[in-house]
Amino acid sequence: MAISIDISQIKSALDSGTGITREQALAVLSCEGIPLLSLLDLSAGIRFRHFGREVLIHILNNAENGRCPEDCRYCAQSASSSASIEVYALKSDEEILAEARAAHERGAFRYCMVFAGSEPSDERVEHLMGLVRTIKERWPLEVCVSPGRVTSEQARRLRAAGLDRLNHNLNTSSSYYSEICSSHTYEERVQTVRAAKAAGLAVCSGVIVGMGETKEDVFQMAKDLGALGADSIPVNFFIPLEGVALKDPGALTPEYCLRVLCLFRLMNPRTEIRMAAGRERHLRSLQPLGLYVANSLFLGGYLNAQGGADRETLAIVRDLGFSIRSEVPLEDLLKVEHPKVRIKDQKDLRPFCK
Residue 65 interacting with ligand SF4 (CB under 6 A): no
Cα gap 223→267, rounded to integer Å: 7
Query: CB-wise, 218 or 277, nearer to ligand SF4?
Result: 277
Which neighbouring-strand residues pair with 78?
Answer: 68
Taking CB under 6 A as the binding criterion, the range among 14-22, 66-74, 189-197, 201-209 that sits at the site for ligand SF4 is 66-74
Instruction: State which residue, 77 or 296, has the beta carbon closest to ligand SF4.
Output: 77
The answer to whether 231 touches 268, Cβ cutoff 8 Å, is no
70 lies in the binding site for ligand SF4 (CB under 6 A): yes
Q: Give yes or no for residue 286 binding ligand SF4 (CB under 6 A).
A: no
Query: Residue 313: CA atoms inside 13 Å, Cβ hemisphere, count?
Result: 31
Question: CB of 209: closest distance to ligand SF4 in angstroms?
Answer: 15
Cα atoms in the 13 Å half-sphere on the side-chain side of 7: 11
User: Shortest approach of ligand SF4 to residue 189 CB, angstroms?
Assistant: 9
The CA distances from residue 262 to 227, 302, 338, 354, in Å, are 18, 22, 31, 18
When asked if residue 180 is in the footprint of ligand SF4 (CB under 6 A), the reply is no
Is 211 one of the binding residues for ligand SF4 (CB under 6 A)?
Answer: no
Question: Which of residues 103, 108, 116, 245 is near ligand SF4 by CB under 6 A?
Answer: 116
Select 75 or 258, whichever has its Cβ closest to ligand SF4: 75
One-letter amino acid at 169 equals N
Helix H or strand E encompassing 12: helix 7-16
> In a 10 Å sphere around its CB, with 0-12 CB exposed, 13-18 middle and 19+ buried, how is residue 109 labelled?
buried
| Beta strand extents in the chain (DSSP E only) | 54-62, 110-114, 142-146, 165-167, 202-204, 207-209, 232-237, 272-275, 296-298, 323-324
Considering beta carbons, is residue 46 or 68 the nearer one to ligand SF4? 68
**Contact pick of 24, 43, 61, 78 for ligand SF4 (by CB under 6 A):** 78
Point out which span in 67-75, 121-129, 154-162, 278-286 binds ligand SF4 (CB under 6 A). Answer: 67-75
Q: Which is nearer to ligand SF4, 265 or 274 (CB)?
A: 274
d(CA 77, CA 157): 27
77 binds ligand SF4 (CB under 6 A): yes
Residue 293 burial (CB count, 10 A): 25
Which of 28, 75, 293, 294 is in the footprint of ligand SF4 by CB under 6 A? 75
Of 20, 72, 145, 195, the one binding ligand SF4 (CB under 6 A) is 72
Beta-strand ranges (E) seen in 247-309 are 272-275, 296-298
Minimum distance of ligand SF4 from residue 116's CB (angstroms): 4
Site size for ligand SF4 (CB under 6 A): 8
Question: Candidates 34-42, 65-73, 104-112, 260-268 — which segment interacts with ligand SF4 by CB under 6 A?
Answer: 65-73
Cα torsion 52, 295, 334, 108: sign = positive
How many whole angstroms separate alpha carbon 172 and alpha carbon 45? Answer: 27
Q: Give yes or no for residue 68 binding ligand SF4 (CB under 6 A).
A: yes
Residue closer to ligand SF4 by CB (options 78, 271) is: 78
12: which residues sit within 8 A by CB, 6+ positions away? none
| CB nearer ligand SF4, residue 169 or residue 220 | 169
Q: Which stretch binds ligand SF4 (CB under 6 A): 1-9, 73-81, 284-292, 336-344?
A: 73-81
At closest approach, how far in Å is the CB of 72 from ligand SF4? 3
Interaction site with ligand SF4 (CB under 6 A): 68, 70, 72, 75, 77-78, 116, 118
